[in-house]
């Protein structure tokens, strides 16, 4: 293939590429530096520590449960926002992102105000045998609160992309509203819902502030681990940077691997 | 039989109002109207897919206005087909059968029937995105017919197709209706489609039904400007196409033989643009293959041009200039010859 | 106007509306409960405390600076991602969201690894007289790191929506690359860039974990306040829920008011 | 003068290759090719908006291949206009003047000139989104001409317009070129546009220039099937339209007077579809207003139909059936009459 004739590159392109490089270095240099700063031996040793692996498993597990609940509750909302029009809908759509921008420690306290045992929901759920303060359930709702908007926004885009007349045709062919949703709308919006779920799961795993407030040490697998982001901060506060390093590397690696793998799966589907 | 009584539907900008229609069992009923007249919404309202504000819809003596779409027994085919993109052609056709608790064997049989009926057996394993417009439309028809609906609703089924495909599929629709005997409600803005296919035509304009009748009645006594304009600008005839000879087909139109070029046979319609017809005082021997004698029935001036109606006794409208009128000294009742080329006759 | 004829609502609609209601209650009940739990008198009193108002001002200021830097560096990257195609671009676009999903405490430590005085960038900037540990600059980079993806994604969408032929026409009319960018691309993508900036600012203000690690008490306005999310967590840890309440309310109110006001401005533009 | 030498451009799927063209100062040059032939990319390559792989572009003796678009002095008008949606019509037109360090007074004057030239003074305060297609195209022309470019590049400027607007704007383009004397390079897939406007035409097919010449040369001696097909399916003539009488206009085509219906005057082109022409052995007195004698020059069978070329001495191609050929016993050199209605003549 012949290359295009050389022309003096535009000044703007050069400046823009330099600035872009700067920002990419800013985002990725800390991650690469950290990830490469500990040898595999140290990492393996750290992973075998009981409070490390229980903490990591707790984080993965709680974020996964949060995502499942989010799917169950968030997908219907996304569908309604995509299909119906009602007064104040635009405003409501704007408000959906609020959990992203509320300071996370404040979000944790706000959750405590309704899910604490002496409060509204807390009392109802306590009656059902579920407590949220310093329990896995608490970790789950803290993660769910801050990560739900990612799933809702993405699922909404997915449903918007499904031609409403496909659902109408399904109805005239004898499908009930449920059947039309399950056989037409859901399969066609699935890629977006899946990639929103990936984002929600990964974002849930990253939560620190809200979890710290609502559920510090929680009973899990016969021990009392903390969420992995708390573990990192604890080690840093107690023993300093060098001591926190291997745990940090592990936590970042797990986030990166989960996120990149699942997002690649989600994107591959979209492209074909 | 479908009865629509005092139907009123909110279209946002305007209303479909006071819609009353009686559609017979097995009838091919056309709803004709310009773009934006609310034709699609009317179909969706009948199918229960669009909310109605007032009125009643009856099907075989039962009111269905409050039923969910899946209980109404109406199949719909949209202009751009709306095939399920995640399903193969076969699964698209079988889609509705899944809800009828048929045994698997029965489902396969029914799909085969539909595929045979529409001659699309070579497409069954394909994905809808790989099909041409005409093929997609046939799949959509097969899908709608598979569940054996009482009424088939067609939303401009031919208007997104190229002219050739359109003509072919129009023939297939007519044949399909003869064979399946389903009641069809077909909306279109294309008058020739209406004439070619419809047992009866309702003209919809600005949210109201302005005329109902056979295509011929609507054409001869138009009550709307849309129809009147169309009627003046086309000579529409019905006839029987017989055998061809030397590349021609002889069409018998009320006892008069007209030469045309077409593959169609039996009952056909012809249209002939007024500006393609010559008027003369003697017969013309020329490569124009139709030269017929008649009597000037009417002379209608329209600005710079003049429409002359000649009765053979079937009536043809011709377009001539004022100059020609004077040169030929045309008067009402005068005997003239009309001449037009076989190729100028559009058969459909 | 005549109402549509009543028809028994579909079961699915009822269920979906109920589930949607549940999720909206889950998101908004904690916020409303918290916001209404303190009287205006208490709030005003709290706001006048020196460590409260300096903390809030520090947070607003640092997030604002982070957004400005983000605009300067992130908009060029967004433009390049929208206009150019190159090998690995799809993958890179996926990676841009990584700061959202890295546990925030780990992100703080990763930043420390490159911006700490003894490390790479830290040493360079130290030579220039800028330190990042326990300084306002540290708060700024922590906020910037976690909130940049929101601006980049939104600006990229904005530039994608600008017909590239408008830029081409501008060039043939005598505009240089810079002039075409400033007079055509930027004004037309402005709404998206602005709403991305709102999101970045609000998200920056909400950051807790990364700021906690990198810059705890920082010198600001002659005092040593902490970021407001840290203030909330500190008060909760030291004095308990009741003591943390007024600060929490203030912090949430400020986030909500800023976010809703600015997003309304951004959306109004889009609709007209 | 524009010289293009051995230009090669990568279009992804295929290449524009070995493009050599010489375009004279002030010429109206047409690049004619089917959709997807790479016409738009060729224009963008000339303007410096699309990278070229090889070759040279010269303008007035200076190589410009390496210059940025803003240094080439070429204005471009796209099919769908690409007006700046955030600027008023006035500011769209003034856009390019901002970079020429004109005093404010001069800018206003130049905008007024352009607005006057294109007769759009009533639109200046409007927002582009409120304009019709034809109005938008005039604004785009005014914007491109405002900076006084050496070359005006037109990318299918008429093809997104409805037929009526198209005809009007085509006339305005011709007049504009007479008045402004800018070199125009106009790409199109529409042969009639090429004939009506072009001093010379280059035919582009599958990435290569297959023929360059005057519209008449290209039509009479087509080297590409695209052109040959077009030439057979249309009779294209050039003539002078004189005064009208009784609704007719007499067009003098090489000494032969043809009656047509048109408002156009002076130099015009006519096209006449072969199937609209009758051939007969006697003159026909009828409402067909043109009956001319000639000699059969050629008989070309094409499947079911036959093209007969009649020399008057200007050549007209007629379409007849095999039956007619036999009935009329047509032979080469035979004297015949050709007859067609004034209304069948398309003047452009």
**DSSP string covering A8-24:** PPPHHHHHHHHHHHHHH
Contact B333, B294 (CB under 8 A): no
Region D102-116: what's the mean pLDDT?
A: 90
- pLDDT tens across C1-40, in order? 445 666 777 888 889 999 999 999 888 888 888 888 888 8
| Chain C: residue whose CA lies nearest to A203 | C101
* C10/B contact by beta carbon, under 8 A: yes
> Residue with structure tokens 């050929």?
D325
- pLDDT tens across C161-205, in order? 999 999 999 999 999 999 999 999 999 999 999 989 999 998 898
Residue D3 has pLDDT above 60, yes or no: yes
Contact yes or no for A5 and D65 at CB 8 A: yes
Look over chain D and give the mean of its residue pLDDT values, rounded to a whole number: 85
CA distances from residue B1 to A171, B28, B322 in whole angstroms, order as listed: 22, 12, 52
- pLDDT tens across C208-247, in order? 888 888 888 788 877 778 888 888 888 888 888 888 888 8
Contact D148, D74 (CB under 8 A): no
- pLDDT tens across C44-103, in order? 888 888 888 888 889 999 999 999 999 999 999 999 999 988 888 888 888 888 888 888
pLDDT bracket for residue A240 (50, 70, 90) = confident
Q: CA–CA separation, B254 vs D78, rounded Å?
A: 54
Q: What is the sign of the dihedral through the CA atoms of B225, B230, B235 and B240?
A: negative
Q: How far is B281 from chain D (nearest CA, A)?
A: 7
In whole angstroms, what separates CA C80 from the centre of its chain?
A: 22
Interface probe for D, chosen from C165, C173, C190 (most Cβ of D below 10 Å), is C173
* B68/C contact by beta carbon, under 8 A: yes
pLDDT at C4 (0 to 100): 61
Percent with pLDDT over 70 in chain D? 95
Phi and psi, residue A253, nearest 5° = -60, -45
Q: Torsion angle, CA of D298/D300/D301/D303, rounded to 10 degrees?
A: -150
What residues of chain C, 123 to 162, have a C-beta less than 8 Å from chain A? 141, 144-145, 148, 152
pTM of the predicted protein model? 0.80
Q: Which two tokens stand for residue C6?
A: 């009543």
Q: CA–CA separation, C15 vs C12, rounded Å?
A: 5
Contact yes or no for B48 and A171 at CB 8 A: yes
Region C98-113: what's the mean pLDDT?
A: 88
- In order of start, what are the domains of chain A with their CATH numbers? 59-227 (1.10.3720.10)
pLDDT at B232 (0 to 100): 65
**DSSP string covering A123-151:** HHHHHTT---TTSHHHHHHHHHHHHHHHH
pLDDT at A214 (0 to 100): 84
Region D245-258: what's the mean pLDDT?
A: 81
Contact D7, D16 (CB under 8 A): yes
Which CATH code fits B234-347?
Answer: 2.40.50.100
> Do D2-227 and D234-347 come out as alike in CATH topology?
no
**DSSP string covering D158-211:** TTTS-HHHHHHHHHHHHHHHHHH--EEEEEES-HHHHHHH-SEEEEEETTEEEE
Q: CA–CA separation, B76 vs B45, rounded Å?
A: 12
Q: What is the sign of the dihedral through the CA atoms of C56, C59, C64 and C67?
A: negative
* Chain C residues in contact with A27 (beta carbon < 8 A): 96, 98-99, 145, 148
Region D79-87: what's the mean pLDDT?
A: 90
pLDDT at B262 (0 to 100): 78
- pLDDT tens across D259-272, in order? 887 777 888 888 88
* Chain A residues in contact with D66 (beta carbon < 8 A): 5, 7-8
Residue A220 makes CB contacts below 8 A (sequence gap 6+) with: A54, A57, A58, A61, A136
Contact B171, B124 (CB under 8 A): no
pLDDT at C230 (0 to 100): 85
pLDDT (tens, 9 = 90+) of chain B, 348 residues, equals 899 999 998 887 788 888 999 999 999 999 998 877 888 899 999 999 998 888 999 998 889 988 899 999 899 999 888 999 999 999 999 999 988 888 889 999 999 999 988 889 899 999 998 988 889 999 999 999 999 999 999 999 888 777 667 878 888 888 889 888 899 999 998 888 888 889 999 998 888 888 999 987 887 777 777 777 776 667 878 888 887 766 678 888 888 888 887 777 888 888 887 877 888 887 776 665 788 888 998 887 766 677 888 888 888 888 877 777 777 888 888 898 888 888 778 887
Residue A272 has pLDDT above 50, yes or no: no
pLDDT at B285 (0 to 100): 65
* A4/D contact by beta carbon, under 8 A: yes
Which CATH code fits D2-227?
Answer: 3.40.50.300
pLDDT at C235 (0 to 100): 85
Contact yes or no for B287 and D328 at CB 8 A: yes
The 8 Å CB, 24+ separation contacts for B305-309 are B305/D247, B307/B232, B307/B274, B308/B279
Q: CA–CA separation, C183 vs D72, rounded Å?
A: 20
pLDDT bracket for residue D304 (50, 70, 90) = low
pLDDT bracket for residue C271 (50, 70, 90) = very low
- pLDDT tens across D121-174, in order? 899 999 998 988 889 999 999 999 999 999 999 999 888 777 667 878 888 888
Indicate the angle between helix axes C50-83 and C228-239, nearest 10 degrees.
Answer: 140
* C12/B contact by beta carbon, under 8 A: no
Q: How far is A264 from chain D (nearest CA, A)?
A: 26
Residue A145 has pLDDT above 80, yes or no: yes
Q: How far is B128 from chain D (nearest CA, A)?
A: 25
pLDDT at D246 (0 to 100): 67
**What number of other Cβ atoms are within 10 A of residue C242's Cβ?**
10
| Chain B: residue whose CA lies nearest to C7 | B66
Contact yes or no for B47 and A168 at CB 8 A: yes
Nearest to B54 among C2, C7, C10 (CB): C2
Q: Residue ranges per domain, chain B? A: 2-227, 234-347
- pLDDT tens across A12-54, in order? 888 999 999 999 988 888 888 888 888 888 888 888 888 888 8
- Report ipTM (2 d.p.): 0.75
């Amino acid at each position: 293939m012949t290359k295009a004739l050389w022309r003096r590159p535009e000044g703007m392109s050069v400046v823009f590429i330099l600035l872009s490089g700067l920002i990419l270095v800013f985002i990725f240099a800390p991650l690469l530096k950290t990830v490469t700063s500990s040898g595999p031996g140290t990492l393996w040793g750290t992973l075998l520590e009981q409070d490390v692996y229980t903490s990591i498993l707790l984080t993965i597990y709680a974020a996964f449960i949060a995502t499942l609940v989010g799917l169950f509750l968030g997908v219907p909302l996304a569908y309604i926002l995509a299909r119906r029009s009602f007064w104040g809908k635009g405003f409501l759509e704007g408000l959906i992102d609020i959990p992203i921008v509320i300071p996370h420690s404040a979000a944790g306290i706000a959750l405590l105000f309704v899910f604490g045992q002496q409060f509204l929901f807390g009392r109802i759920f306590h009656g059902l045998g579920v407590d949220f303060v310093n329990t896995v359930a608490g970790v789950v709702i803290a993660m769910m609160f801050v990560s739900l908007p990612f799933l809702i926004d993405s699922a909404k885009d997915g449903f918007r992309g499904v031609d409403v007349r496909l659902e109408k045709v399904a109805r005239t062919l004898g499908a009930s509203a449920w059947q039309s949703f399950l056989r037409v709308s859901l399969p066609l919006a699935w890629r977006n819902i899946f990639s929103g779920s990936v984002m929600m799961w990964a974002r849930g795993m990253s939560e620190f502030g809200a979890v710290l407030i609502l559920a510090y040490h929680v009973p899990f697998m016969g021990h009392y681990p903390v969420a992995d982001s708390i573990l990192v901060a604890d080690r840093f506060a107690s023993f300093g940077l060098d001591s926190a390093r291997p745990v940090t590397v592990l936590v970042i690696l797990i986030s990166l691997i989960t996120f990149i793998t699942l997002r690649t799966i989600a994107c591959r589907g979209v492209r074909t | 039989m479908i009865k629509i009584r005092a139907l009123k539907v909110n279209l946002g900008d305007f209303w479909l109002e006071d819609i009353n229609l009686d559609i017979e069992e097995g009838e091919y009923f056309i709803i004709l109207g310009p773009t934006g007249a609310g034709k699609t919404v009317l179909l969706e309202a009948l199918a229960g897919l669009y909310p109605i504000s007032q009125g009643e819809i009856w099907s075989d003596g039962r009111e269905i206005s409050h039923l969910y779409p899946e209980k109404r027994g109406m199949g719909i085919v949209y202009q751009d087909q709306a095939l399920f993109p995640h399903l193969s052609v076969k699964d698209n056709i079988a889609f509705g059968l899944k809800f009828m608790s048929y045994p698997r064997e029965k489902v396969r049989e029914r799909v085969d029937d539909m595929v045979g009926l529409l001659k699309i057996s070579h497409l069954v394993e394909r994905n809808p995105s790989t099909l041409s417009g005409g093929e997609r439309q046939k799949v959509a028809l097969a899908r709608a017919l598979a569940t054996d609906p009482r009424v088939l609703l067609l939303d401009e089924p031919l208007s997104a197709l190229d002219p050739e495909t359109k003509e072919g599929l129009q023939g297939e629709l007519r044949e399909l209706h003869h064979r399946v005997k389903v009641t069809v409600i077909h909306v279109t803005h294309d008058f020739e489609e209406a004439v070619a296919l419809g047992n009866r035509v309702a003209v919809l304009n600005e949210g109201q039904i302005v005329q109902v009748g056979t295509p011929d009645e609507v054409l001869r006594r138009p009550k709307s400007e849309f129809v009147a304009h169309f009627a003046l600008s086309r000579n529409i005839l019905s006839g029987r196409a017989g055998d061809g000879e030397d590349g021609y087909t002889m069409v018998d139109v009320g006892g008069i033989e007209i030469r045309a070029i077409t593959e169609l046979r039996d009952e056909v319609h012809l249209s002939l643009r007024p500006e393609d017809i010559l008027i003369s005082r003697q017969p013309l021997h020329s490569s124009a293959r139709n030269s017929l004698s008649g009597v000037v029935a009417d002379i209608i001036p329209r600005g710079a041009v003049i429409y002359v109606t000649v009765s053979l006794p079937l009536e043809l409208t011709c377009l001539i200039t004022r100059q020609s009128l004077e040169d030929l000294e045309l008067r009402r009742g005068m005997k003239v010859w009309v001449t037009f080329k076989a190729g100028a006759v559009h058969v459909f």
